[in-house]
Chains A and B, each alone.
Chain A
Amino acid sequence: MKNIISKLNKAFESRVRLGIMSVLMVNDDVDFNMLKDLLEVTDGNLASHLKALEGLNYIRSEKQFVGRKPNTRYIITDAGRIAFREHLDALEVLLK
């Protein structure tokens, strides 16, 4: 049992990070505002979780301009995809 629990990824313990990863798993790229609307969190809270996930190389960001407004899009990395899938598998095994 302990073995399985250790497979759960600590990086995905927070509900916000879980949400970010879930959204990025099924969408090619998602911008900051869409994430904010979906997860219903504050700018600061979301930004800090995004930064943490980016630091772990699970997601990457691309800055661009829509007109004159800066717009940041987030994309899941291969490492992030693998890590999240392993986390999901561990969750599933735990519930069986």
Chain B
Amino acid sequence: MAVFEGLSTKLQDIVKKLKGKARVTEKDLKEVMRDIRMALLEADVNYKVVKEFTNTVTERALGSDVLESLTPGQQVIKIVNEEMTSLLGGTVSKLTYSPKPPTVYMLVGLQGAGKTTACGKLSNLLRKDGKKPLMVACDIYRPAAIKQLQVVGKQLDIPVYAEEDNKNAVNIANNAIKYAQKGGFDTVLVDTAGRLHVNEELMQELQDIKSKVKPMEVLLVVDAMTGQDAVNVAQSFSEEVGIDGVILTKLDGDTRGGAALTVKSVTGKPIKFASVGEKLNDIEPFYPDRMASRILGMGDVLSLIEKAQESFDEQKALELEKKIRAKGFDLNDFLDQMEEMKKMGPLDQLLGMIPGMNAKALQGLSVDEKKLDRIKAIIRSMTMKERSNPNIIDASRKKRIASGSGTGVQDVNRLLKDFEQINKMMKMMNQKGKKGFKGMKNMQFPF
């Protein structure tokens, strides 16, 4: 149903459109800007922000030599990407600490944006940084909200300050700071109740908490899936409470996240963190360049590369190479390789980062992680002898392996056949000589 194929396709069209032209006219550029405008709108960037953005890009394009350039399409895209990255903040923005601890952070936002979870994740991150955080439960309205933070605290083993019977959030926050000072906590994270930005009473409460506890930073928690309304939310919180930064949540979904651009351009405050999963360590610094690519639909190439580098153990690869040269590739190596791949994260997540892989394309292609697990199970049901010398696997061994791994004999057969093919490929590469084993990294497993 993805009616709009994302800007990457659009941009490719634009490149094509402009490619054949000897000269690019202002009219061409206007048409291109219309396409970009539509794509940004479909990515949920606020229409006012889009307007400003396309104006800036047009101006820059006209001011530079794009029109005379041999590759006008690429030039335009480059400008679009650069402008968007800089609009999103340019570089990674870090948390600031108070010179006089405890440093207080306050999390604010609409209902369901993910404040409590973000509070836990951020505390976890701070602790990893060597801090001693205290979380404060100031959501006195939503049923079981205090309990939720307490459970999160327990899961993380990070203390939570709460006063179940106190109906005054300002008071609780204030007491918590005193408690933190006594207890030697150097960072305090105040979780507040979700509220609508039009609720004057509750917005006042935030102001009161803020003036009482004087936070180093007020962080606005924003759901990445937010639509055009992000502009109103950001404006109200920014004007009425005053914010210092933004945490963008639920970025592990398939939204383009245009709200990020809206919020940044409305508030002028940096987006500091991105929340990217269900687990309490699924939080990372916000990378404006990557977000720009995501909104533009150009794929999160950088993240992918980094992830691959992080997970791929160079040393292990070298060892493997040596071993294969000496003895050949066996099923144990096969298993290792799969583990390496798995470390890079869920496969569909990885595929999603590849440019041109839009959600629609992925649906047909969805990688069955279960299949990988099944293959692993099969190999693990083999004896070491069988793994290093698959040739000895006869019909009765196959039967045993199949029942051991909860699969069928035909699954075992398929795996052995696939493996044989890989081995053949390996041998061919080996025979080709001593060119090194670079192919390993891009090797294609036939599953």
Q: State yes or no: do A and B come from one complex.
A: no
